[in-house]
Structure 1
């Protein structure tokens, strides 16, 4: 497969490069006017000049889409909607727009807050024991308004920038809700969200166990807000978190289920419309659960695929993938920086790039079972190989057990998703059957125990894996070259792959040597406590006050620091809260 035969994919890549360029250099309004004028000139030249050679037209189209990326991202860069005084108590009126994952102390929401004549988007925190907020009410409350803090150091997650990309500039903590007033201006989308919230509350009232209810809400309704951290960690460590993220697998299975019912229920003369009705149904389902990146991508790709089928043309996966990415990014270029968006598209690209070459090494699949097993192995391996560099860059961890876990669990995912969908349908319409609940609860509890067993395989779980963007680029080139090597093992393909791997190792060793020569002393702020770290070469020691919990410090300070600074071993020392000086390596350091 040659990329020059995929013009739409190349143009989308140019569009993406334009977005990255504008995000990094932040061209101003005057320069953007110049870009727009150049874009207009190129567009006129392409359509009115027929003397351009083919290669020249291709280059001009690439520049055109690159400039489009610049312009669209310029207009998608959010600016504060209100200049609101932070770090003070205020009386506000608010409405929620989305429910978010809860923390140990708070329930979280996205919402629109009104303060006097000003309004702004905000993250809303309420105490964990407070009743749920809903979409059908305005709330008047006393709230403490803050702005997200920039991270202290480069290795920490930039939560303020993450919220900024979502057009959110403030966080508010509700201390007291005075009253709620029912809204009479609910939009159609908000009515759908309220109905979804009602279904979630109905699931909470069933007699299933808490973990099963949380699993059901996550796998079908894309709501993981109340899922306990241990369960989420099990899915992450076993490499099965994609089961909880509504993705292409879920959409295809639900589409297939509805199409199966349509073919058998509607009159024969209308059966040719079953595909169209099924496509309409999955869009309604996507609207109901919220248009997440993976959902939107899957729906667009499925529509493009079946449009090709209905037009009796050969479907093209890369065209479908590129078109879905282009539509999503035109609507909001900030989606490009969402990790889920990146991993979702890379996984599909990986399946396209490596699945068929890998299948050639398996025996002929002469029955359904063999086909299922072989495809499960190759699809899981393809997706994980292509997304691995990005996974290591963002999360710095990997478990080899994820390959085995996917091979064993994924073949049953179709049954689990269909069963979960039917359970949600029954509960939504008030058909709550105790014996079905118990059966579903039993099945899911077995599934969760198996996943927990996979997650417990610590000996194949590697943490604090350092990875920078240069390493990601080089190892991605190696994975790109892997296809040719799998298809044909010869001297040329082998040398190309080996040279790329050697280049990666040289770069990695060089980065390790440079980082291990540095020394630094950092004072970390953590929940009103001070933690000091002293790094000398490849060794680092953390001094932690006695009253600070070890696990949280490991998660938010130590492990990100070690990944960033390429440190294999670290030491933790406890110190009394009143300590003012510490001694390390024959030197004295001030803690306060």
Structure 2
């Protein structure tokens, strides 16, 4: 594998670098465009006037600089578009009018929907406004796309995370274009009837119609929710138990419409014409229709990063087949990634995008290396071995990132994929015809019965795998340095027979030294004794860590708050999930004394003070970092999480 043979693979890092630079150093779009034009003139001048011996290195440098600037332009343009898409101070309006974007989603005590703001009322006057609100209502009638509603109260801004390493729900909604959240109850007035006036409304209604057809043909609730996720990408219907079962079995990826599903549809469409001897023109026409069908499927399933990647990849492969050429998979992957970044540069920060490309790269690069370890004697064993190898290759490339984000690893992922992927393939081979032929009474009933049976059998297998002992390793952590080291080792393994082994060995040694340096720095900077106070809506909770032991004090903090707000920090610091209780002595003046810490906590004023034990540093958590505080005598615990280092 020569790196020079894959131009888009060479361009990709520079475009990503530009997006990262643009995210860190926000410059005006006009300035960036001016710089880009300046470098383009320099590039043109070098081509026109320089000597041929100096032309290639100079043009290469200028081209890479232009790619970096282009990435910065993309992120600046995206930021401008985001500023325009959301008006300021909508949360301070007296009322607003909006348009419903989708059908209601049933929640335990309400209905969930998304409203796009059209106008707001301020100081008695109506003005145009932008923004999206996720709402919860309790009306007797349901919302539908295109419906216009009047709401007499302003929406609230979605608050960001308060505690260390807490899930950033506000950032998650922001990537979906949602800035506000509001519980309406019945305080909402419908102004107009539902109307279909855009492609988005048509797609939402079309998808809803297919969903209703699946419900009628697969009435079993447990089977239907899996069918909705598997065929349409509607994971919102999955209950917690089903999500947990598929996740712990290592096959949650089959319920998220991804490249696997697009690949199955692509294979099915090509299989239909395999027996036919089509002319060159007819084959090209059919391949063009295949591309249209793939993108239509991508549209109705939500256009997730993995689906976009797969749709772009198979479209490029189909275009190559039209020209009777087989494009390089590395160029196809890199080009599809660059194309996605051009339309949505922030996609590189999405977990789905990262996992999707890592999985495919792992399969392409590592699968051939593992296949060499064994050559099966017959076709059946070869088929099983291929499944095992694909699963291993994808898992090897993605597990560092999975641990980094989710802190868990499914122990029986090989068994799960070996049993469930063939079943998924079979379900989709019958499920897609079920969707297409649902209007034919008896045939669609039979297909629905078959899909229902297969999904129930699949759920049974998932349940058996879930019940196996030690089915998931959880509360695992990994540093960025360790993650990069693992990927570096995999790359060295791939290049072992193509690049000088001496150079690779030296590269591995350098990586190990750098990794060891980061680990040493991390161990030096980690305090041996510290106290953390968390920010919660009610009550107070603190963790005291000393010499690899942890004690905790909880005063009226709910279990749900512990799970979502406090556990992430415990996992990151590798503290136990259920620490022992920190001993405290209550006093008559609403004060608690902690002998181990020599600390008083006033429950009325929510302040702490120390008697004899002096903290080395008092820090507060803000914007993902710990900052030094000047106050170390009497510390208030109301504004942000506090960390005290001894």
TM-score interval, normalised by the smaller of the two chains: 0.7 to 0.9
Distance 1:30 1:332 in 2: 19
1:388-410 deviation digits (Å, cap 9, x = unpaired): 22112111221222133223322
> Offset of 1:325 from its aligned partner?
0.9
Question: Which residue of structure 2 lines up, in the alignment, with residue 86 of structure 1?
Answer: 91
Q: 1:194 to 1:44 in 2, by over 3 A?
A: same
Q: Confirm whether residue 204 of structure 1 aligns to residue 215 of structure 2.
A: yes
State the alpha-carbon separation in 2 of the partners of residues 452 and 248 from structure 1: 25
1:118 and 1:589 map into 2 onto residues whose CA distance is: 54
Superposed CA offset, 1:254-295 (max 9, x none): 122233335568977835543232222212222232322211
Partner of 1:319: 331
* Displacement of 1:182: 2.3
Question: CA 1:487 to 1:2, structure 2 compared with 1: closer, same or farther past 3 Å?
Answer: closer
Alignment check: 8 A CA contact 1:93 1:138 kept: yes
Structure 2 CA distance, aligned partners of 1:321 and 1:477?
A: 20
Q: How does 1:416-495 map to 2 (within 5 A)?
A: 416-427=427-438, 433-457=444-468, 459-485=470-496
TM-superposition CA deviations, 1:157-203 (whole Å, max 9, x none):
22223333444322222222322522446112321221111222333
Q: Is the 8 A contact 1:142 1:175 kept in 2?
A: no
- SS of the equivalent of 2:324 reads coil
1:399 equivalent in alignment to 2:403: no
**Is 1:343 equivalent to 2:348 in the alignment?**
no
Question: Could you say which residue in structure 1 is the equivalent of 2:626?
Answer: none
* Structure 1 residues 365 and 569: alpha-carbon distance in aligned structure 2, compared to 1, 3 A threshold: same
Alpha carbons of 1:94 and 1:68: their partners in 2 closer, same or farther (altered >3 Å)?
Answer: same
Change (3 A) 1:149 1:437: same
Cα displacement (A) at 1:83: 2.0
Q: 1:73 is matched with which residue: 72, 75, 84?
A: 75
TM-score (norm 1): 0.88
Could you report, residue by residue, the CA deviation over 1:497-551 in whole angstroms, capped at 9, with x for unpaired residues?
577457546644652553252513213214x454333334533334334572x3x
Give 1 or 2: higher helix fraction.
1
1:151 is aligned, of 161, 167, 171, to 161
Contact 1:79 1:167 in 2 (8 A): no
Task: Pick the aligned partner of 2:389 from 368, 371, 378.
Answer: 378
Please give the secondary structure, in 2, of the residue aligned with 1:309.
helix
CA distance in 1 between counterparts of 2:248 and 2:48 reads 56
Give the 3-state SS of the residue equivalent to 2:395 in structure 1: helix
Partner of 1:17: 17
Pick one of 508, 522, 536 that aligns with 1:525. 536
Moved more, 231-240 or 534-543: 534-543
Separation in structure 1 between the aligned mates of residue 213 and residue 490 of structure 2, nearest angstrom: 46
**Helix, strand or coil for the counterpart of 2:536?**
strand
Tell me by how many angstroms 1:101 deviates. Answer: 7.8
Separation in 1 of the partners of 2:60 and 2:178?
Answer: 39
The residue correspondences of 1:119-518 to structure 2 (distance < 5 A) are: 119-127=129-137, 132-143=142-153, 145-176=155-186, 177-179=188-190, 181-184=192-195, 186-206=197-217, 208-262=219-273, 270-271=282-283, 273-364=285-376, 367=379, 369-427=380-438, 433-457=444-468, 459-485=470-496, 497=508, 500=511, 504=515, 507-508=518-519, 510-512=521-523, 514-517=525-528
Alpha carbons 2:165, 2:569 under 8 Å: kept = yes
User: Displacement, 1:428?
Assistant: 6.6
Q: Identify the range of structure 1 (187-196 vs 164-173) with the bigger mean alpha-carbon deviation.
A: 164-173
Alpha-carbon distance between aligned partners in 1 of 2:277 and 2:100, rounded to the nearest angstrom: 40
Q: By how many angstroms is 1:222 displaced?
A: 1.0
- 2:8 corresponding residue in structure 1: 8
Aligned with 1:315: secondary structure? coil
Cα separation, partners in 2 of 1:167 and 1:492, compared to 1, 3 Å: same
> How big is the alpha-carbon RMSD for the aligned residues of Structure 1 and Structure 2?
3.4
The more displaced of 507-516 and 156-165 is: 507-516
Shift of 1:23: 0.8
- Give the equivalent residue in structure 2 for 1:96: 100
Q: 1:132 to 1:260 in 2, by over 3 A?
A: farther
Separation of aligned partners in 2, 1:99 and 1:338: 25
Quote how far apart the aligned CAs of 1:41 are: 3.2
Contact 2:17/2:71 (8 A) holds in 1: yes
Contact 1:166 1:334 (C-alpha < 8 Å) held by counterparts: no
Q: Distance in 1 between matches of 2:516 and 2:462?
A: 34
Deviations 1:363-407, CA, capped at 9 Å, x for gaps: 15752x334222211211111111122112111221222133223
Q: Alpha-carbon deviations, 1:542-588, whole Å to 9, x = none?
A: 4334572x3x2453133311222232465165999x98636362433
Which segment is superposed worse, 268-277 or 347-356?
268-277
Q: Deviations over 1:46-70 (max 9, x none)?
A: 6535634434333322211111101
Q: Is the 8 A contact 2:249 2:410 kept in 1?
A: yes
How many residues align? The count is 586
Work out whether 1:111 is the aligned partner of 2:115.
Answer: yes
Deviation at 1:475, TM superposition (A): 2.5
Identify which range, 104-113 or 301-310, moves more after superposition. Answer: 104-113
Q: Which has the larger radius of gyration?
A: 2
